[in-house]
Amino acid sequence: MSGSAHTSDARGAAWPATEAEARAVQEQLRPRVELADRAPAPGTPGTVLAGVDVAYDDTHDVVAAAAVALDGGTHEVVARATAYARVPFPYVPGLLAFRELPAVLDALERLGRVPDLVVCDGYGLAHPRRFGLASHLGVLTGLATVGVAKTPFVFRHGPVGAARGDSAPLLDGTEEVGRALRTREGVRPVFVSVGHRVSLDSACAHTLSLARRYRLPETTRRADALCREALREAATRQTGESRSPGEEGRAAATGRP
DNA sequence: GCGACAG
DNA sequence: ATCTTGTCGC
């Protein structure tokens, strides 16, 4: 076969094989980001707020993803799902979505609920090409998404007030691409940006609402715990049970083994 | 050319 | 992300 060098991911969709192709995909999809806010008001009972996250096992080349759904009113868990995949792309700053999204999309499908908002671990519009993983996930699924990251990446911000809820613009030069938001007193801020179908104000309001007791939103904390647990169990299942030397690095390509 | 660099 | 001991504090 000549021509396109695209390959297939675990879900059967085209996936870039090189950094140049990945950047081209971002440039192509970026115009599809919608800025109109379609997220529910924070605290609305009956709405579904989802968190997604992934964990890696580099030695086995496996990524485990988790999706957790919380009720918008009580923040109690109403659904959980996991998925596995071969790591489909190397870590390259600015191309994180190509490493995480196949497994995340799979986990979201298995969730059995359609979230009203998805909170991602990383950035949305706060991205060198304005298309971080939160925006990418939103465009691919049509879901409202926000990005909440733990570090400022390549961006700058002024001082953030000491009180919970205080914030400062996250700047790419003079352009506000997100917000440094303090979710707890005496704790480093988190870095919020728009993913898809949400406003920055709404993204920050949801982040604040979901992060009362801890720095990070409850959605990402739950998803983080779940994908780590899934990865541990996958490792245990291989080591402790089937000792077949030939079958090791080839853990399930997808699904719950 | 040399660092910096979401997770 | 992941590798890793102890330490300070509620």
CA/C1' separation A147–B2 (Å): 31
Residue whose structure tokens are 């799902």: A81
Has residue A254 got a pLDDT over 70?
Answer: no
CATH topology (fold) of A37-242: archaeoglobus fulgidus dsm 4304 fold (3.30.2170)
pLDDT of residue A22: 97
Determine whether the annotation assigns residue A224 to a binding site: no
Helix (H, G, I), strand (E, B) or coil at A149: strand
| Residue A237 binned pLDDT confidence (cut-offs 50, 70, 90) | confident
pLDDT of residue A243: 43
pLDDT of residue A14: 75
Query: How many CB atoms neighbour CB A187 within 10 A?
Result: 13
Question: Over the stretch A126-183, which tens digit does the pLDDT of each residue have?
Answer: 999 999 999 999 999 999 999 999 999 899 999 999 999 999 999 999 999 999 999 9
CA/C1' separation A41–C2 (Å): 36
Domain boundaries, chain A: 37-242
Judge whether residue A11 contacts strand C, using its CB and a 7 Å cut-off: no
Judge whether residue A63 contacts strand C, using its CB and a 7 Å cut-off: no
Give the span between the Cα atoms of A8 and A108, in whole angstroms.
19
Report chain B positions within 7 A of protein CB atoms. 4-7
Q: Within chain A, what is the greatest distance between any pair of CA atoms?
A: 59
- Residues A238-251, mean pLDDT to the nearest whole number: 46
pLDDT of residue A221: 97
pLDDT of residue A235: 75
Determine whether the annotation assigns residue A53 to a binding site: yes
Which nucleotide is closest, CA of A57 to its C1'?
A: C2
Judge whether residue A150 contacts strand C, using its CB and a 7 Å cut-off: yes
Judge whether residue A218 contacts strand C, using its CB and a 7 Å cut-off: no
Has residue A184 got a pLDDT over 70?
Answer: yes
Which nucleotide is closest, CA of A91 to its C1'?
A: B7
Has residue A255 got a pLDDT over 90?
Answer: no
Question: Over the stretch A62-97, which tens digit does the pLDDT of each residue have?
Answer: 999 999 999 999 999 999 999 999 999 999 999 999
CA/C1' separation A245–B2 (Å): 44
CA/C1' separation A62–C2 (Å): 13
Which nucleotide is closest, CA of A93 to its C1'?
A: B5
pLDDT of residue A248: 38
Backbone φ, ψ for residue A215 (5° rounding): -65, -40
Q: For nucleic chain B, which protein residues have CB less than 7 Å from any of its atoms?
A: A 53-54, 56, 91, 93-97, 121-123, 127, 132-134, 147, 149-151, 153-154
Give the span between the Cα atoms of A153 and A38, in whole angstroms.
27
Residues 6+ apart with CB under 8 A from A149: A121, A122, A123, A126, A190, A191, A192, A193
Which nucleotide is closest, CA of A59 to its C1'?
A: C2
Report chain C positions within 7 A of protein CB atoms. 1-2
